[in-house]
Structure formats: C-alpha cells, structure tokens
Amino acid sequence: MADAAGQAAEAQGKGKMSTSWTIKVIESAEEMLVVEDLQRLVWPGSEAEIVPGHLLLASVHNGGLLLGAFVEQRLVGFAYSFLGMNEISNGPKLKHHSHMLGVHPDYRSHGIGFALKRAQWQMVRRQGIERITWTYDPLMSRNAWLNITRLGAVCNTYMENYYGEMNDELNAGLPSDRFQVDWWLNSRRVNLRLSRKKRGTLDLAHFLSAETAIVNPSQAGVDGWPEPLEEPALPHSAERPNILLVEIPADLNGLKAAQPQTALRWRLSTRSILQELFRQGYLVTDFVHLPGIQQRSFYALSFGEATF
C-alpha cells in the first residue's frame, strides 16, 4: 500500500530544481486535509487507499507522529507513523509502525524522504521507543536501497498478499506481498547509516570476490528482461553459509508493464525462497544494485546475526 509506494516515489523521480526544506510536526485539522491531497498525488488511482484527515488527527493526538516537509510553506512530503505493540518473550512493548512516506512528484530525489525518516528516528526516540517497523514490496529495488542500505533496517518477516488485491497504479497486477522491516533506533547499524559521515557501500564485486553464492541467479529472457531461476540453490540445514545473495528484478515496474506474467513468476519464486531462508534463520542485512544496461539487484542475507 502507501508504505511501499511512497518510498518508491521518493527514490525514483528526477529532481527538477535546487531545493531546501524545513521539517515540522503536523498537528492541525487544516494541515491534515493538505496531507490528504498530497496522498492523491503520490498514490493516484484509488481513493480507497487514502488515509482521511480525521483519522490522522486522532492518531497524532494519541501518540502517533505526522511529519511534514515544507518548501516555502508548501507541503511537499510527509511521514506518518502510529503506536503499536511488539510482542516479545517478557510481554508486549511499545513500538511505532511507519505506515506512509510520500514525496510530491516535483520534489523527488532531493533526499526529502531520507530527511523525513531521519526526523522520525529522532522524534520517536524521544518517546523512549527503540523500534519502528514498516512494510514495503520486497521486489521494489529502489525501496530496498532506501530501507536496507540507506536507513539500516533489517528484515526476517515475509507476509503473503498482505493488503489483498490493490488497484492503485503502483500496486495493481501482483499479489501484495510485503517485507516487514525492523528499524532498531538505538543500534550501531542505524546510527552509522544516519550519521553525517558518508558510508562506503559494498558492491556486487565485493560479495562475489568473497565467493558469496547467489541462490537464484537470473536468466536472460525475452527482450532482455530477466527470468527467475526455476530451481534455486537453497542451502541445506547441515551447512548454511554465513552470507547469501538473493536476486530480485532491478526494475519491477518496467517488468510489470512489459511482461506481467514474468513479474508474477518473480513474485512467486522469491516468495518461496525468502520465506524458506527466513525459516532457516537468515536475516536481510544489506542490498546491492549493479547499474548499467543489464542492471541487477540483490539482497544480502546473513545467517544467525543477533546484533545490529
């Protein structure tokens, strides 16, 4: 739903101007209506997906958080999260669930989405909460780059067809499978990713030079679109590598438009692979994108990683 689409929206578009912005908490009923209008721009095609202003208002007055990014007093982006419960061994514990992140089409690729998430990280920590969760489509490479690489979230939860059938322009045509990611706000991983220091990222060559296995290397298909491997090389329980790579389409939206049946095969294939790896104890800890004409994308999964 809005979760995946909003983060895709921030990552995909090309900026049209030099932009500076301010971020503030949104609390008034009038501003909630402006957020409604921005949702329609970010997720066109289905009025049913819009979170109404009165619900946003009730949420933020009861522990929820709605942050807005403003350029010259114009709302150009927002992030919305609400309180939830995390069931752990010694009883339930409060968390935030980040339901929506959206950026106006004219202001994408300026870093506004990242700035909103960073502000969310700061504000939620002030509530004494140490975990934020959210969902996104695991086949959306640009979302994966923002969530896993840039923000430092991790994942070992796969939910099949989570929202049921969706009819908005960004989500129609495939089962609405989702990753639920965990953002551990006080972890070393997240603090390093959000620091002002530029982080050197690993590329595919780093993993391959360490002889990291690709579970499901793609095959060239019709018109150059990648085909999923029919028989992935899943590890046996007796011998599990510390790190594995799982390939996903580099351009899901393009693939859906050109070859919807191939996109569906990718959904079903990666669903099976990722669910099995999570069952075995693997955790998504990084994401790698290989640019170029034949671009490729991979999740890096670590076995048994308990500290972040």
Task: Tell whether 244 and 162 lie within a shared domain.
Answer: no
Residues in contact with 125: Cβ distance below 8 Å, sequence separation at least 6, in sequence order: 185, 186
Task: Tell whether 118 and 253 lie within a shared domain.
Answer: no
Distance in angstroms between the alpha carbons of the first and the last residue of the chain: 28
**Domain assignment present for 34:** yes
The Cβ-side half-sphere exposure at 50, using a 13 Å CA radius, reads: 18
Q: What is the pLDDT of residue 222?
A: 81
**Domain assignment present for 199:** no
**Domain assignment present for 109:** yes
Please tell me the total count of domains within the chain: 2
pLDDT tens for each residue of the chain, 308 residues long: 444 334 434 433 334 455 799 999 999 999 999 999 999 999 887 777 899 999 999 999 999 999 999 999 999 999 999 999 988 778 889 999 999 999 999 998 889 999 999 999 999 999 999 999 999 999 999 899 999 999 999 999 999 999 998 876 677 789 999 999 999 999 999 999 998 776 667 788 889 888 999 999 999 888 889 999 989 999 987 788 999 999 999 999 999 999 999 999 999 999 999 999 999 999 999 999 998 878 999 999 999 865 55
Q: Distance (Å, rounded) from C-alpha 167 to C-alpha 1?
A: 10
Domain that holds residue 283: 204-303
HEC string for 253-288: HHHHHHCHHHHHHHHHHHHHHHHHHHHHCEEEEEEE
Q: What is the pLDDT of residue 136?
A: 97
User: pLDDT per residue over 178-195, tens digit each?
Assistant: 999 999 999 999 999 998
Domain boundary among 194, 229, 262: 194
Residue 181 near residue 289, CB atoms below 8 Å:
no
DSSP letters for 122-177: HHHHHTT--EEEEEE-TT-HHHHIIIIIIT--EEEEEETTTT-S--STTTTTS---
Domain boundary among 169, 194, 219: 194
Task: Tell whether 49 and 136 lie within a shared domain.
Answer: yes
Task: Tell whether 170 and 44 lie within a shared domain.
Answer: yes
**Domain assignment present for 17:** yes
Distances, alpha carbon 187 to alpha carbons 57, 151, 183, 259, in Å: 31, 11, 9, 41
**Domain assignment present for 136:** yes
**Domain assignment present for 91:** yes
**Domain assignment present for 225:** yes
Task: Tell whether 183 and 227 lie within a shared domain.
Answer: no
Task: Tell whether 12 and 115 lie within a shared domain.
Answer: yes
Q: What is the pLDDT of residue 13?
A: 33
Residue 150 near residue 193, CB atoms below 8 Å:
yes
Task: Tell whether 30 and 144 lie within a shared domain.
Answer: yes
**Domain assignment present for 308:** no
200: left (phi over 0), alpha (psi -120 to 50) or beta: beta
Task: Tell whether 258 and 158 lie within a shared domain.
Answer: no
Residues in the chain: 308
Task: Tell whether 171 and 33 lie within a shared domain.
Answer: yes
Token digits of residue 210:
């360490």
Task: Tell whether 190 and 208 lie within a shared domain.
Answer: no
3-state helix, strand, coil in the chain (%, to 5): 35, 30, 35
Residues in contact with 128: Cβ distance below 8 Å, sequence separation at least 6, in sequence order: none
User: Which CATH number is 169's domain given?
Assistant: 3.40.630.30
Task: Tell whether 50 and 190 lie within a shared domain.
Answer: yes
Q: Taking the model in full, what pTM does it have?
A: 0.88
Task: Tell whether 55 and 147 lie within a shared domain.
Answer: yes
